[in-house]
Amino acid sequence: MRLSAYFLPTLKENPSEAQIVSHRLMLRAGMIRQTGAGIYAWLPLGQRVLKRIERIVREEQDASGAQELLMPTIQPAELWRESGRYDDYGKEMLRIRDRHDREMLYGPTNEEMITDIFKNSCKSYRDLPKNLYHIQWKFRDEIRPRFGVMRGREFLMKDAYSFDLDAAGARRAYQKMFLAYLRTFARLGLKAIPMRAESGAIGGNLSHEFIILAETGESGVFCDRTWLDLDVMAEAPGFDDDLERFFARATGIYAATDEKHDAADCPIPADRLVSARGIEVGHIFYFGTKYSKPLGAVVAGPDGEPVAVEMGSYGIGVSRLAGAIIEASHDEAGIIWPDSVAPFQVGLINLKSGDAACDRVAAEVYGDLRRAGVEVLYDDRAERPGVKFADMDLIGVPWQVLVGPRGVKSGVVELKRRATGERAELSRDSALAKLTGPA
Ligand code: 5CA
């Protein structure tokens, strides 16, 4: 992509409405624009990041055995009357009437709808287990939308729903999602700590939130110091392995949200307890028959007797993650994208646009990289080098390739790693090999 043609409205000044760094940087880097309170348009750069996050989330859901479908954003009120949540949900639910005066709503979550879909097609224990998920926009009329995409009113969520014949099956489904979540967040370059949590409006009694420690986080959390240096992924099994041991290990190291933490009843000594703030990027729930019973999701068991299916639900805040990753990875100059979610892999800077030799070499490097399948943002604008450096650092592309008059003469380009600031002069071929070779 040539930057001269790209829709990338970066801002030089810090927008006054943004209180936390990720919100500031997302606005400044031209990733998002607010269109209403807690509602954002994702501009091309932001949309690229969102798609990359989605892809990793999807790959890990698929690897765990969950199957993707797509449910609508608009739901009939009727279903929520059956579960009893239509009145309970209160003002957070956006209620709508169609032209026939039928009551509808913009879904804040999908337990009712998926249970209805499931029950209409699955009638036997042989249809189990199933785990169905989608990645779809949600609306919650939050009292205090804030921090940009972190607490929006409209936001993108991955929500999965598991169906099992009995509690043991449901526990395995829960553990699979638990593992899929740890794998997902690790691939996103994040250290997410699973914490015992309240199940709130979703219900049930087994629940974990996945929390990224960050000063700007909205959740108060407590955890064992051990978590700070632990790479739990080093011990992670495969999806088909026995998950009990790993689950026991990962949930055995104390971590709880402030709603669950009780100082008087804390299992670890005070000197090992860390009190911190965190961002909730995922939340999983086991709630048994809370929805299957009222909605009639019943299958015939092996003995022919009807059994209400055991369910869990599993959410990841896909749009929130874009902000969370920035909170975890930035510096004074801007965003530092992990390679796995970067909107472009390489930012190519022509230090002297208009100079025939620089233009030629930069265009050739651009062509070489694109042919090798690398996603490149080529800054071909007639701007000063300082402006180009600042913009490329701001948007946080992991590698920068600098083409300038001096290097062009001696046949080299400069390669800069955004995260460390390290620079090296390399021949064009070596630079290309490095950028297209194995990571
Ligand atoms: N049905 C369950 C699981 S599928 C559910 O809705 N869980 S949730 O309420 O915890 O939401 C799942 C995830 O969505 C949260 O962990 C959080 O990362 C994200 N999320 C929730 N509310 C918002 C919001 N207002 N803005 C951005 N992300 C949000």
Q: So what's the pLDDT on residue 137? A: 98
138: CB partners within 8 A, 6+ apart: 73, 106, 107, 108, 109, 154, 155, 156, 157
Nearest CA to ligand 1 atom 23: 151
* Whether 93 contacts 103, CB under 8 Å: no
- 399-403 and 346-350: which strand pairing? parallel
* pLDDT score, position 349: 98
Place of tokens 């989330």: 57
pLDDT at position 201: 80
Res 203: pLDDT = 77
Q: Which atom of ligand 1 is nearest to the CA of 316?
A: 13
Rounded CA gap, 105 and 173, in Å?
Answer: 29
Q: Is 317 in the pocket of ligand 1 (CB under 6 A)?
A: yes
pLDDT tens, 304-361?
999 999 999 999 999 999 999 999 999 999 999 999 999 999 999 999 999 999 999 9
Q: Is the CB of 261 under 6 A from ligand 1?
A: no
Residue nearest atom 1 in ligand 1 by C-alpha distance: 109
Per-residue pLDDT, 102: 98
Q: What is the mean pLDDT of each run of 10 residues along the chain (439 residues)?
A: 98 93 98 98 98 98 98 98 95 98 98 98 98 98 96 98 97 98 98 93 88 95 96 94 96 95 94 97 97 98 98 98 98 98 98 97 98 98 97 98 97 97 97 89
In sequence order, what are the beta bridge partners of 132? 67, 161
Q: Is the CB of 142 under 6 A from ligand 1?
A: yes
pLDDT confidence of residue 439:
63
pLDDT value, residue 199:
85
Identify which of 231, 218, 214, 187 has the alpha carbon closest to the alpha carbon of residue 326.
Answer: 214
Ligand 1 atom closest to Cα of residue 108:
6
pTM check: above 0.85: yes
| Nearest CA residue ID for atom 19, ligand 1 | 317
Domains of the chain in start order, with CATH, are 21-335 (3.30.930.10), 346-436 (3.40.50.800)
